[in-house]
Amino acid sequence: MNITCISAANVARARDHSASTRACEIIRDLVTAEYDAQVEILPLLDYELTPCLMCGQCLTAGECVYDPAFNALHARLAAADAVFVVCPHYAPLPSKLMMLLEKLEEICYLNWCQNQEYHTVVYGKPIGLVAHGGQTAEALPYYKTALLDPLALAFASVQMRVMSAGPEWPNGAVFGVQRLYLPPGDIFVQIEHDWDDIRQHLTPLVINLLAQLQAAR
Q: Strand, coil or helix: what is 34?
A: helix
Averages of pLDDT over runs of 10 residues in the chain (217 residues) are 95 81 97 93 96 96 97 98 96 96 98 97 98 94 97 98 96 94 86 94 97 88
Q: Are 134 and 99 in contact, with CB atoms under 8 Å apart?
A: no
What CATH number has the domain bearing residue 86? 3.40.50.360
Q: Give residue 181's pLDDT.
A: 86
Q: Give residue 16's pLDDT.
A: 73
Q: Are 170 and 164 in contact, with CB atoms under 8 Å apart?
A: yes
Q: Name the E strands within 144-196.
A: 161-162, 173-175, 179-181, 190-192
Q: Name the E strands within 68-215.
A: 82-88, 126-132, 161-162, 173-175, 179-181, 190-192
Q: What is the domain extent for residue 197? A: 2-216
Q: Give residue 217's pLDDT.
A: 76
Cβ neighbour number for residue 35 with a 10 Å cutoff? 14
Structural domain total, the chain? 1
pTM above 0.85, yes or no: yes
Q: Give residue 188's pLDDT.
A: 82
- Which helix (H) or strand (E) element contains residue 3? strand 2-7
Q: Give residue 34's pLDDT.
A: 86
Q: What phi and psi values does residue 68 have, to the nearest 5 degrees?
A: -65, -30
Cα–Cα distance between 212 and 164 in angstroms, integer? 11
Half-sphere exposure of 88 (CA within 13 A, CB side): 23
Q: Give residue 213's pLDDT.
A: 92
